[in-house]
Amino acid sequence: MAVRSFLRRICATVAIVSALSATPSAQASAIYIRSARLEADLKGWTLDAHFDFTLNDNLVEAVNKGIPLYFTTSFTLTRARWYWFDEHTVSVERSVRLAYQPLTRQYRISKGGGLQLGLPTLKEALGVIQRINGWHVIDRSAARPGARYTASVRMVLDTALMPKPFQINAINDNDWKLASDWKRFSFTPEALD
């Protein structure tokens, strides 16, 4: 019985993958970074960023069929050195999971730590994913006051976090490639009291 149940699940997954790859593909989309800035807090600095993107028809269909999408935001802080490679001071990532729950008819956003937020529409759910506020990225001890750094931020649709059958499909399909370029900006920390 358990083997039959397992085989049914595998067949259903393969059917969904086949249906999604059989649909005519729309153009690959991009994520645009509208703004990104660092703000001082008690422990160091936080990132506030605003991204802009839309999901193509295949991604919307995938979410509505219960396939979770993962959006990973990466932040790095580097300091140029004339005598050697750049010093990588900070490198952090955070992923947000977007899934549709048909029972409650809500889009669920899950961030690290098990926090979940339910929203009634996909547009509202994407609005939450597109705005990052108060993400602590730099500890006070990681950046020297007065030194000049380059801060970089980007967001991608992280297919590596998806279930394995969809990872295989995503490799060959441009509809599953959604990413921003790196946005780089200069950052010179002031001494925090």
Per the domain annotation, does 3 fall within a domain? no
pTM listed for this prediction:
0.79
What mean pLDDT comes out for the span 1-15?
44
Per the domain annotation, does 97 fall within a domain? yes
- Taking only the tens place, the pLDDT of each residue in 105-135 is 999 999 876 778 899 999 999 999 999 999 9
Question: Mean of the per-residue pLDDT values for the chain?
Answer: 82
Q: Which residues of 116-151 are buried (b: 16+ CB within 10 A; e: fewer)?
A: eeebeebeebbeebbebeebebbeeeebeeeeebbb
Per the domain annotation, does 111 fall within a domain? yes
Per the domain annotation, does 42 fall within a domain? yes
Per the domain annotation, does 21 fall within a domain? no
Number of domains composing the chain? 1
Per the domain annotation, does 1 fall within a domain? no
Domain holding 169, by residue range, is 30-187
What mean pLDDT comes out for the span 140-147?
90
Q: What is the pLDDT of residue 159?
A: 85
Per the domain annotation, does 45 fall within a domain? yes
Distances 140 to 37, 42, 43, 76 between C-alpha atoms, Å: 16, 8, 6, 15
Note the residue count of the chain.
193
Per the domain annotation, does 87 fall within a domain? yes
Low-confidence winner among 36-45, 121-130, 157-166 (lowest mean pLDDT)? 157-166
